């Protein structure tokens, strides 16, 4: 097929998230018939406006799906020991299946100690070392929400993973490493690249499936992409300079209007010009980010089932 005539498939994260939430609502109803209500506790420390928006969205979605949620809002002055006591209390509560600590935490709080203090069986973020180990060894458990969302996009869009050359750009514990492990578990041949990789383009141009999660606006350019590849863009970067908006979105009246109104636009880690060369891609916004809350809801229900010995196949 002539590359100029190829029409890339847009992978609609919002629509896929809607499917997942509808399925979770059915699972919640099935648990309710057995007298079980999955419960999620969200800890939000201090007054961080962006975090408040995320948390409100999570709590709202819980309500829509029939999941019990409790929001705890300790002051920014809270100590690590006081936070540990709060987590211990939630670990002990039978009505709480999932515990989510909204990051970032104040600098004086030991984030690593706190995340490891959450019971692995209630760790709906999938960050605990025990859950990382379960993921690596292919055991049922709670996987990080964003990489799990990536796998759902691929699966529900009918895109091949087994036998594909997959390249993950980024090696964070939250996205890069678990995404690489999930792709490996799904029988892809996986290469992990990062900011220190020499000649990055030589790897990305070989990728049938490219996951960009490095946190740099437009970092993967059109010349770094294999024609017809599937591009999964995890990045959410705010661009606040008019020149950058014009560079990333030349002639895009909608983006220009958004920039004029808000003073910023969002761009992913893949340069938008690269999408025209792809076979399929996730837009930013409306792609991977839309899946994160849906997968958090799924993890909360999964935790409720695993804690009670209910088969995960029994939806």
Any idea which residues carry the catalytic annotation? Answer: 58, 102, 125
Beta strands 237-239 and 265-267, pairing class: antiparallel
Give the integer Cα–Cα distance in Å for 242 and 116: 42
Could you give phi then psi for residue 211, rounded to 5 degrees?
-110, 115
Q: List, edge to edge, every strand of the sheet that includes 98-101.
A: 68-72, 39-43, 98-101
Give the integer Cα–Cα distance in Å for 287 and 180: 19
Give every CB contact of residue 54 below 8 A, 6+ residues apart in sequence. 102
CB 175 within 8 A of CB 139: no
- CA 235, 238, 241, 247 torsion-angle sign: positive
Report the SS3 class of residue 190.
strand
Residues paired with 232 in a beta bridge: 211
Structure tokens at 86: 């709060």
Closest CA to 302 of 137, 151, 97: 97
Alpha-carbon distances of 116 from 78, 300, 303, rounded to whole Å: 18, 18, 17
Structure tokens at 13: 């994260």
């Amino acid at each position: 097929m002539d590359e100029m005539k190829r029409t890339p498939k847009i992978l609609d994260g919002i629509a896929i998230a809607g499917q997942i939430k509808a399925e979770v609502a059915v699972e919640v109803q099935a648990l309710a018939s057995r007298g079980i209500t999955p419960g999620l506790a969200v800890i939000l420390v201090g007054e961080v406006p962006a975090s408040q928006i995320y948390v409100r969205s999570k709590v709202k979605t819980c309500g829509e799906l029939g999941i019990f949620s409790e929001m705890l809002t300790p002051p920014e002055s809270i100590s690590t020991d006081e936070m540990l006591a709060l987590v211990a209390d939630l670990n002990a509560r039978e009505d709480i299946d999932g515990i989510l600590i909204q990051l970032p935490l104040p600098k004086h709080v030991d984030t690593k100690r706190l995340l490891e203090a959450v019971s692995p069986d209630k760790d709906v973020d999938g960050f605990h070392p025990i859950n990382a180990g379960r993921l690596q060894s292919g055991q049922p458990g709670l996987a990080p929400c964003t990489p799990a969302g990536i796998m759902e996009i691929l699966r529900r869009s009918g895109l091949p993973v087994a036998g594909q050359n997959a390249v993950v750009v980024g090696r964070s514990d939250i996205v890069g490493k678990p995404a690489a492990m999930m792709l490996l578990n799904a029988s892809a041949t996986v290469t992990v690249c990062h900011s220190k990789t020499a000649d990055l383009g030589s790897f990305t141009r070989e990728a049938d499936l490219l996951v960009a999660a490095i946190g740099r606006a437009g970092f993967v350019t059109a010349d770094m992409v294999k024609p017809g590849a599937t591009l999964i863009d995890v990045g959410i970067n705010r661009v606040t300079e008019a020149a950058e908006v014009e560079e990333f979105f030349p002639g895009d009246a909608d983006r220009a209007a958004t920039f004029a109104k808000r003073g910023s636009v969002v761009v992913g880690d893949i340069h938008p010009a690269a999408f025209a060369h792809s076979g399929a891609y996730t837009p930013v916004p409306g792609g991977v980010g839309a899946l994160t809350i849906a997968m958090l809801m799924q993890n909360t229900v999964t935790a409720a089932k695993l804690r009670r010995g209910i088969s995960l196949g029994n939806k």
